[in-house]
Amino acid sequence: MSLVSQDGNLKVSFTLNGRATTVQTTSTRVVSDLLRDDMNMKGTRVSCGRTVCGACSVLVDGFPRAACSTFTFELEGRDVQTIEGVEGSDGSLDPVQTAFARKSAFQCGFCTSGMILLAKSLLAAHPDPDRETIIAWISSNICRCTGYELIIEAVQDAAKAIKAEAGA
């Protein structure tokens, strides 16, 4: 439960990239500002600032949320993952990151962190997605550089890698 402190700020507790976190914030502070300005986590990029492009996507309880329009107090008791918290079980690149790198599924890189988090959420919900499912999920994020084909292929490759890693 968020508590209002003596100075009028809110105390918000949540899990961030696997670590218990408590912050003091205002009722109007959005997650992207908290992460980038207060916590120096620059991987969450802000482009549109209006929940349109998906560049600022973070995972909240495993599902993509636009950090530019999610208020920090909404994180109370939630599990939040940013691109800084994405890694393989041994600290190496996550299979989704590896697939994006191998396919060169990025050009300028501005949308990449949001796309990777979106792909992780997609693959958690649909471990073996067909092309149409991938397209439906990634359509919420805008990439102005790649034309999406390499992103689709990277998600397909990541699904195969995760399945192979699990021994399925």
- Domain residue ranges in the chain: 9-85, 95-167
Distance CA(18)–CA(85), nearest Å, equals 8
Angle at the Cα of 140 (from 74 to 59), degrees rounded to 5? 35
Distance CA(50)–CA(97), nearest Å, equals 26
CATH number 1.10.150.120 is the correct assignment for the domain at 95-167: yes
Above pLDDT 70, what percent of the chain?
96
Distance CA(51)–CA(165), nearest Å, equals 34
pLDDT average, residue stretch 139-160: 94
Angle at the Cα of 46 (from 124 to 90), degrees rounded to 5? 40
Does 145 have pLDDT greater than 70? yes
Does 82 have pLDDT greater than 60? yes
Band the pLDDT of 116: cuts 50, 70, 90: very high
Does 165 have pLDDT greater than 80? yes
Looking at domain 9-85, its CATH superfamily turns out to be Beta-grasp domain (3.10.20.30)
Does 11 have pLDDT greater than 90? yes
Q: What is the pLDDT of residues 30-62, one digit of tens each?
A: 999 999 999 999 999 999 888 889 999 999 999
pLDDT computed for residue 5 by the predictor: 67
Does 2 have pLDDT greater than 60? no
Distance CA(100)–CA(74), nearest Å, equals 30
In the chain, beta strands by DSSP E: 3-4, 10-16, 19-25, 57-60, 63-66, 79-81
Does 1 have pLDDT greater than 60? no
The CA-based dihedral angle spanning residues 153, 134, 95, 44, taken in that order and rounded to the nearest 10 degrees:
110
For the chain, the average pLDDT equals 94
Band the pLDDT of 147: cuts 50, 70, 90: confident
pLDDT average, residue stretch 115-125: 98
User: Nearest to residue 118, comparing CAs of 93, 140, 89, 144?
Assistant: 140
pLDDT average, residue stretch 74-85: 98
